[in-house]
Amino acid sequence: MAAGTAADLTLDELRLALAPAIADAAIFDGWSDAALVSAARMDGLDPDVARLAFPGGAMDQIAAWIEGVDTIMAETLPAETLATMKIRDRIRALVEARLAAVAGREEAARRALAIMAMPQNLVRAGKLGWRSADVMWRLAGDTATDYNHYTKRAILASIYAATLAVFVDDQSEGKADTRAFLDRRIDGVMRFEKAKAQWLRPSDERFSIARFLGRLRYPST
């Protein structure tokens, strides 16, 4: 990013533009002012100007990186591509696209997870996870507005967080252990959703033990 180009950016645009370079520097310097300074100088930018884009320090840096991953995921899997998939395959593909965007920066992700797990950062970390889950569900075509809107996002946010934690330490060939872990988690959710759908069917469509026994005792004529 040339200095002249940087001068034309808003602070929000600058934050997103610098985030990947900060993530690269965070592999060695952690999510810190040192990483920000390194990224700014690499792009020929005054570090004091770069600091203006991240007044919240490390969490602002991490949030910008996550937003960038959201964007990469959406660009990797446009609506016309997702439309050809079953819902479980859409979710798997979206999570895998996020992981692919993080690949090569596992150490930066590991350090980000440690910072997000700090008590003072839990609320914001939860909001970031919720936002990413919402982006995934919207890309997958979800239009739920009832309580399912919230449960789906909470469940997916937990699946992605758990899968990312496995991913950053996965030394298996082609991250096979991560993919197997993700498949198991998605399978579990699909089974739960199927059981929930059966339970929530209208009562006259559900199997009733009492009705069944009643029919044995008083057969219809």
- Specify the pLDDT at position 193: 62
CA dist., res. 178 & res. 163, Å (int): 7
pLDDT at position 148: 84
pLDDT at 125: 96
Instruction: Please tell me the pTM assigned to this model.
Output: 0.83
What residue segments make up the domains of the chain, in order of their start? 6-170
pLDDT at 196: 59
DSSP helix/strand/coil, 54: coil
Q: Which residues of the chain have pLDDT under 50?
A: 2-3
Residue with tokens 């009643």: 214
The predicted pLDDT at position 143 comes to 84
Residue 54's nearest CA partner among 8, 28, 16 is: 16
* Topology at the third CATH level for domain 6-170: Tetracycline Repressor; domain 2 (1.10.357)
- Take residue 210 and report the two structure tokens written for it: 């009492």
Tens-place pLDDT, residues 155-211? 999 999 999 999 999 999 999 999 999 999 988 777 766 665 565 555 555 555 555
Mean pLDDT over each residue of the chain, to the nearest integer: 88
**What is the structure's pLDDT at 145?**
79
Residue 73 CA to residue 104 CA, distance in Å, equals: 16
